[in-house]
Chain A
Amino acid sequence: MKESDIWNILEDVKDPEIPVLSVVDLGIVRKVEERAKDDYLITITPTYSGCPAMDTIEREIKETLKQNNISSEVKTSISPAWTTDWLTEKGRKNLEEYGIAPPSEATTDKSFLTGKHKAVRCPQCKSENTTLVSQFGSTACKALYKCDDCLENFDYFKCI
């Protein structure tokens, strides 16, 4: 097995709260290092300081690798701090199909830095005529929006 195979295997580990998103798509797997033959050190980083899914994710990474005859240790590192900019294109597409609007901008965009945010697109009807209901949603990483055209409420994966 090569390092790239390990990354492929980790695609099978999903975020327990958003099952369409793998831990790789989410950008929380930061490093895969070979320590010995079939033994790897995996570095992950939490999305939010209080993310309650970290223990489950760590366990599932180890378990999934073990099923592929790989032993592993999982280390958590908070630096560099996680950002939504690390979500993969595939992850963004899957989120929208699942009904969660992906981040509409990068943290380096002028719109984010100046607080004049870009419109968030409704994942149901694709309208950009939407309104923020609350910056805090059903999990730490999401905000709550409503669509003023189809009138559905939806989650938005907020930019940090």
Chain B
Amino acid sequence: MNKEEALFKYLIRLGDNALILGQRLGEWCGHAHQLESDIALTNVALDNVGQARMLLTKAGEIEGKERTEDDLAFHRNEFEFRNNLLLEQPNGDFGQTIMRQFLFDVFQFHFLNELKKSKNDFLQSFAVKSLKEVSYHRGLSSDWVIRLGDGTDKSHNKMQNALDALWEYTGELFEMNEVDELLIKEDMVPDLSELKPKWEEEVKAILNEATLTIPDTKGYMATGSRDGHHTEHLGYILAEMQYLPRMMPDAKW
């Protein structure tokens, strides 16, 4: 694998995260418990879709096979997607969506803060731009985790159930492979193992304030997305998201 191939794979990884999370959050449009939350979730969705567009467009350019952002978003199958398993998990109730968002936002905040130092011009600019947006996402999800976790018995239980269901998908956020190794050597991307203590510290502090308990998974963490192995949920997302462009491949906006 050369540098360009590694960069392509890395951009796909980041682009798929933004795309799948954006699609998931978009499912909330018109369904949240109050107008402000509906608008907030879809605003976060829009930021993610915007980020996905930049990342997949760049990935297509680096690959050099004339694949556009749309080709990459709509004409790949599950096993070609590299988004983290956490992000394809179903929305569930509002608590589960917020918990998923919180666990990812804290990761993304610290990740982008490091990616700002990248020697790759695009990754550097992307990080500076997206960090402004993710800072607001992180504020939203952290506030809700505390408010609902430390809320009524009912909201507390729902948040605890969400944490119990999602925690096993967090280990994978920090997994690295030969793509990371190669790009770390070029000072283009951060070493994810160095991010983990910062993520853990912040997540634990907020969960503590929210009176929630991290479940004991006895060391088990789900894995697979770096190699294209996904949970059953991704196929359903793609079926819905890709239906139109596959049915009518020449359809234009």
**Interface residues, chain A, CB within 8 Å of chain B?**
46, 48-52, 78-83, 133-138, 140, 144, 158, 160
Interface residues on chain B, number (Cβ under 8 Å): 25
Interface residues of B (CB under 8 A from A): 36, 39-40, 43-44, 46-51, 53-54, 121, 124-126, 128-130, 132-133, 136, 139-140
Q: Is the CB of B36 within 8 A of A136?
A: yes
Where chain B touches its partner, the secondary structure class is helix
* Chain A: minimal CB distance from B26 (Å): 11
In the complex, are the beta carbons of A133 and B46 less than 8 A apart? no
Min CB distance, A160 to chain B, in Å?
4
Top 6 A-B residue pairs of the complex, sorted by shortest distance between their CB atoms: A50-B50, A49-B50, A79-B125, A136-B40, A50-B46, A134-B36
Known: A50-B49, A136-B39, A136-B44. 16 other contacts (CB 8 A): A46-B50, A49-B51, A49-B53, A49-B129, A50-B48, A50-B50, A50-B51, A52-B46, A78-B125, A79-B125, A82-B129, A134-B40, A138-B39, A140-B46, A160-B132, A160-B133
Q: How far is the CB of A20 from chain B (nearest CB, A)?
A: 22
Asked if residues B47 and A81 are in contact (CB atoms below 8 Å), the reply is no
The reply to whether A50 and B47 contact each other, CB–CB distance below 8 Å, is: yes
Asked if B50 and A79 make an inter-chain contact with CB atoms under 8 angstroms apart, the answer reads no
Chain B residues with Cβ below 8 Å from A83 are 132
Rounded to whole Å, the gap between the CB of B219 and the closest CB of chain A is 36
With A135-B40, A144-B36 known to touch, is A48 a contact of B133 (CB < 8 Å)?
yes
CA distance A50 to B136 in the complex (A): 14
23 pairs, A vs B, C-beta closer than 8 Å: A49-B51, A49-B53, A49-B133, A50-B47, A50-B53, A51-B50, A52-B46, A78-B125, A79-B121, A79-B124, A79-B125, A79-B128, A81-B129, A81-B132, A82-B129, A83-B132, A133-B36, A135-B136, A137-B39, A137-B43, A138-B39, A140-B43, A160-B136
Given A79-B121, A79-B129, A81-B128, A48 and B40 touching (CB < 8 A)? Answer: no
Measured between beta carbons, the chain A residues less than 8 angstroms from B51 are 49-50
Query: Shortest Cβ distance from A47 into chain B, in angstroms?
Result: 10
Contact B140 A78 (CB under 8 A): no
B128 CB to closest chain A CB, in angstroms? 5
Distance of A138 Cα from B46 Cα, bound (Å) = 12
**For the complex, what is the distance from the CA of A134 to the CA of B37, rounded to whole Å?**
8
Option from B40, B43, B48, B129 in Cβ contact (under 8 Å) with A78:
B129
* Residues in A neighbouring B130, C-beta threshold 8 A: 49
